[in-house]
A and B are shown apart, each in its own frame.
Chain A
Amino acid sequence: MSEVAGDPIAGKSRETVTHAQRMRAMFQYAGMLPVLILLCIGFAIENGRFASLTNISIVLQQAAINTVLAAGMTFVILTAGIDLSVGSILAASAMGALLVSKIHGLGMLGIVAGLAVGLGFGLINGLLIALVRLPPFIVTLGSLTAVRGMARLMGSDTTIFNANLPFAFIGNGTLFGVSWLVIIALIVVVLSWFILRRTVLGTRIYAVGGNPDAARLTGIKVGVILIFVYATSGFLAGLGGVMSAARLYAANGLQLGQSYELDAIAAVILGGTSFTGGIGSIWGTLIGALIIAILTNGLVLSGVSDIWQFIVKGLVIIGAVTLDRYRLDHNGRT
């Protein structure tokens, strides 16, 4: 884009380059923010209930779990990978959390169990990708199926309930009027930002995604980074599982988390993170997740049928990214 091969004009266009650079950075961070705002305005005009405090808090709650999954997905996609297994891992983790929550007196350990299940599956993904060097798509496609099966196995293919779930407050309680789900998602986003932008590890994640060969030659242990990002994605899927279980008091290995990975990937793409790795930000992902939640919520409020919701959602994702690409291409040319 800004790389005019062999003929950079950088020398005599300092201001322009910085300006273009700033523009590019701005588009990267805020790329989809205008779309988000337009959607909000549109739905608010169309339906008075949309902008109500109650509805906004519902939207945020609905966005929370996808935001957590998409945060993990951002780590993975930044390394030019993909994690298709997060929906299945979420289901297995929710099952694990509920099973342990039924143990008398140790119910709170359900949280730990859910997180551990997620982390465990994430680690397995990471190890296969980093050490056996299998393509991420294939590894996580395999675990998408296998882990789904394990989730069903954990509950003997039934729905597990726990009406006295000790950590139900996570899914239904509030702190200063804000849902715990939303607080957790925000904490995840802020922590992700901190790791990606303020730590050595984060810089290395960008480096590995941007140029794995160069990363290896600068002494970065690429395998360790890959294991970390898939473990993170798994762990956050585990957290998503705990959040789901806490909200529903129940989990079903077959249905829970079906195609959640697609919403998570869509949020990351909408957020402007590049599939080729090395470019992207967690704030973009947050905006992407909000767009998806608002779209769903707004369409429901507007009484659009379920079938059309799918079609509209799909088209908006493609259209928004097309718009973004067009703009970036235009501004990237310096």
Chain B
Amino acid sequence: MEPNETVASAPALDAKPKSTALEMRGISKTFGSVRALTNVSLTAYAGEIHALMGENGAGKSTLMKILSGAYHADPGGEIRIDGKPLQIGSPQAGRRSGIAVIYQELALAPNLTVAENMFLGEEMRRGGMIDRAAMNAAARPFLERLSAPFSPSAKVISLSIAERQLVEIARALAGHPHILVMDEPTTCLSAREADKLFAIIRQLRSEGIAIIYISHRMGEVYELSDRVSVLRDGGMVGTLMRAELNAPTLVRMMVGRDESSFYKKEHRPPEEGHRKTVFEVRDMADVSRVHGCSFVVREGEVLGIAGLVGSGRTELARLIYGADPKTRGQVFIEGQEKHISNPRDAIDAGIVYLTEDRKVLGLFLDMSISGNLNINVIGEDSLTGGVLNLAAARRRAAAAIQKLGVRAPNAEINVGSLSGGNQQKVLLSRLLESKPKVLILDEPTRGVDVGAKSEIYRIIDDLARGGAAVVVISSELPEVIGVSDRVVVMRDGHLVGEVEAHAGAPITQEAVMALATDLAAAHAA
């Protein structure tokens, strides 16, 4: 940023008399020899919700990190806040200039209180001691503004994810921002929680804050945004007005190709009772989160498990997989009971589980692609005395990279340097290497870009066609409906119903949603 020249702010893209809150012009960023951003410009008005879309790796986060001061842009670009050139140095300077960023991964200290988190780094003191009462009092109006159902002195660890997000927003508001950046804020929220968040975002808009909203989800972009800007490969593709929004255009702008087959699966109705049951779970329960869940998956079938966040879907999956202790419940594969008390038992029985949190629970980020792929099978591949079979590992890695289309120069690079979609494919490949009969995929496309999503859907479809029983857990209704032949719905630790696709009558979001919320008790099967 070279703030020497002081030109009047550039003409707005449309003739609205809104004031320009943010203007970024000619922003470029290189990391070493890699160009992450090329000459990107972005304008946001006060009181607008401006969605920023683009595939993973398109440069959204880099652009926002430059805005927040976490990264320094290459010389030549310019950032103006309310017409004034921004002297960016650090995130603290950015915050003082009225920029607040809420990252995808919430950055709260769980063992501190809400108020302490809100004023972290700017604690109020009295006589050198921290003044908790003053901080609580200062925090209260912001929490009230957000209708937060918890007190400033509550410990963050006791709050739900959605509530923690409110803390983040309150913390951002405490800096009286002109510009609020939200990076995929609904990733971990249920539909109902997301609706509440949208109401808050609209309220902030009406208060004159410019909101930059990063999201992969088409639905919420439609619902919320006044304008949508799309980044692709580090360049700004264009900005659409609300009236110009439509899904094909957006997808085309993001991926640079027409993606008309997106989200569609050819539903194959079960052939009149001929298909045998491959996988059965009976009366699975733990002490608190899962209360006696039973379901079957037939050969070649994709079963979706829908439900709100917190309904116990992941907990159920982990019980089946032996990752958490169960109080009761049986698992049958092809009619045979399998005794599973730890993940090793599950893998040996032919059950694999794709975790919803690939970085924390799935991948070994310091290990190579090959190491990550092979970790489940190095034991059975090994030579005498547990010596690694390097040839087999190379063969498997090469085959898997090709089969699943992992975009990486070779199998030896660290998995941590891959994009989200490619990481997910590596994790999926790991599961496939052990030739499972049952796959439980928990949020298989979370944090994955549009292109990789449709590839993962294709993989799921192929697996089912290959005869595996596939269970897909997803918070995105269109996704779970799109990939599944049958959807069971979970609510408060119970399986409360089932919706099946029939020829000419696909599963509707409404049917699933009705079951997932307690409105639907009457429909419970």
Contact = CB atoms under 8 A, between A and B. Distances in A.
Interface of A: 2-18, 20-21, 198-204, 206-207, 210-211, 213-221, 278-279, 333-334
Interface in B346-398: 346-348, 353, 355, 360-367, 371, 375-376, 378-379, 382, 385-388, 390
A160 to B, nearest CB: 38
Given A214-B362, A279-B366, A6 B104 contact: yes
A14 B34 CA distance: 10
Nearest to B322: A219
Contact of B407 (A10, A18, A20, A333): A10
Contact of B183 (A6, A199, A216): A6
B138 interface: no
Contacts of B417: 2-3, 8, 10, 17, 20-21, 334
28 contacts: A3-B417, A6-B61, A7-B56, A7-B57, A7-B62, A8-B417, A9-B57, A10-B419, A12-B233, A15-B409, A16-B32, A16-B33, A17-B409, A17-B413, A198-B387, A199-B388, A200-B382, A201-B386, A210-B365, A210-B366, A211-B360, A211-B361, A213-B361, A217-B323, A218-B347, A218-B376, A219-B376, A221-B344
A18 B56 contact: no
Given A5-B61, A8-B419, A211 B409 contact: no
**Chain B interface bracket (under 10, 10 to 19, 20 to 34, 35 or more):** 35 or more
Given A214-B360, A220-B344, 13 more contacts: A5-B61, A5-B103, A8-B57, A12-B57, A17-B409, A18-B410, A21-B414, A200-B378, A200-B387, A217-B323, A219-B344, A219-B346, A220-B375
A8 B414 CA distance: 12
B343 A20 contact: no
B95 interface: no
Contact of B32 (A214, A217, A334): A334
B10 to A, nearest CB: 26
B375 A217 contact: no
B420 interface: yes
Q: Which 3 A-B pairs have the closest CB atoms?
A: A7-B61, A219-B344, A14-B409
A278 B367 CA distance: 8
Contacts of A9: 31, 34, 36, 57, 234
Interface string B331-352: 0000000000011101110000
Nearest to A202: B388
A211 B359 CA distance: 9
Contacts of A202: 388
A198 to B, nearest CB: 5
Interface in B12-42: 31-34, 36
Contacts of A219: 342-344, 346-348, 376
A206 B378 CA distance: 13
Contacts of B378: 200, 203
B59 interface: yes
B255 interface: no
A217 B343 contact: yes
B418 interface: yes
A257 B264 CA distance: 69
Nearest to A209: B366
A278 to B, nearest CB: 5
B34 A12 contact: yes
Interface of B: 31-34, 36, 56-57, 59-62, 65, 103-105, 183, 233-234, 321, 323, 342-344, 346-348, 353, 355, 360-367, 371, 375-376, 378-379, 382, 385-388, 390, 407-410, 412-414, 416-420, 422, 430, 447
Contacts of A333: 31-32
Contacts of A13: 33-34
Contacts of B65: 7
Contacts of A14: 408-409
Nearest to A198: B388
A199 to B, nearest CB: 5
Contacts of B60: 7
A101 to B, nearest CB: 32
A17 B419 CA distance: 12
A7 B364 contact: no
B407 A11 contact: yes
Contacts of B361: 211, 213-214, 217
A7 B376 CA distance: 28
Nearest to A277: B366
A4 B63 CA distance: 12
A198 B383 CA distance: 10
B62 A4 contact: yes
B34 to A, nearest CB: 4
Contacts of A198: 387-388, 390
Nearest to A217: B343
B34 A16 contact: yes
B59 A203 contact: no
Contacts of B321: 217
A74 to B, nearest CB: 15
A4 B61 contact: yes
Contacts of B103: 5
Contacts of B363: 211, 214
User: By CB atoms of chain A within 10 A, which of B323, B363, B390, B413 has the most?
Assistant: B413
A32 B438 CA distance: 48
Given A2-B417, A217-B353, A199 B366 contact: no
A194 to B, nearest CB: 8
Given A333-B31, A334-B34, A211 B364 contact: yes
A206 B364 CA distance: 9
A207 B34 contact: no
B414 A2 contact: yes
A7 B364 CA distance: 18
Nearest to B105: A5
A122 B323 CA distance: 29
A16 B413 CA distance: 11
A3 B416 contact: yes
A334 B347 CA distance: 36
Contacts of A3: 365, 416-417
B375 A207 contact: yes
Nearest to B60: A7
B12 to A, nearest CB: 28
A218 B426 CA distance: 14
Contacts of A16: 32-34
A278 B366 contact: yes
